[in-house]
């Protein structure tokens, strides 16, 4: 590819380095490929696929929320158990300290 072609098709090419320009074209290619694949699928499939994705997400949201609630309960129980336990933190063995 020469620079004349790049400047004709993309006037912003002067502001980008070659790698950024490569990424720009790859992103555009991916977008166009997505549009092409979407055009191959019937409208009913896209509608039901979208609804299935939403339900799948809602299901995981319920699962994650329930797991978070259980973790909070366990954490609160652990904190209340540790508050009730006023034993010495030095352990069972007493250490004799000599003070001058």
User: How many domains does the chain divide into?
Assistant: 2
What does the angle CA 8 – CA 34 – CA 51 come to, to the nearest 5 degrees?
145
- pLDDT in the model for residue 4: 47
User: Residue 16 has what pLDDT?
Assistant: 82
What's the confidence (pLDDT) of residue 15?
72
DSSP character at residue 76: H
Q: Does residue 19 sit within a domain?
A: yes
89 part of a folded domain: no
Tokens read off for 8 = 């004709």
Domain span at 17: 1-40
**Count of H helices and E strands in the chain?**
3, 0
Torsion region of 91: left, alpha or beta (phi above 0 gives left; psi -120 to 50 gives alpha): left
pLDDT value, residue 95: 76
Tokens 């002067």 -> residue: 14
Any domain includes 26: yes
Per-residue pLDDT tens, the chain, 100 aa: give them. 455 445 455 555 567 899 999 999 999 999 999 999 999 999 999 999 999 999 999 999 999 999 999 999 999 988 887 765 555 566 677 778 888 7
């Amino acid at each position: 590819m020469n620079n004349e072609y790049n400047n004709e098709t993309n006037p912003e090419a002067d502001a980008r380095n070659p790698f950024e320009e490569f990424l720009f074209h790859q992103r555009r290619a991916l977008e166009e490929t997505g549009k092409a694949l979407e055009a191959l699928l019937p409208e009913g499939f896209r509608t039901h696929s979208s609804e299935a994705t939403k339900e799948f997400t809602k299901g995981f949201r319920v699962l994650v929320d329930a797991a978070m609630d259980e973790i909070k309960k366990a954490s609160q129980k652990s904190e209340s158990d540790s508050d009730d336990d006023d034993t010495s933190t030095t352990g069972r063995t007493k250490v004799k300290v000599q003070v001058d």
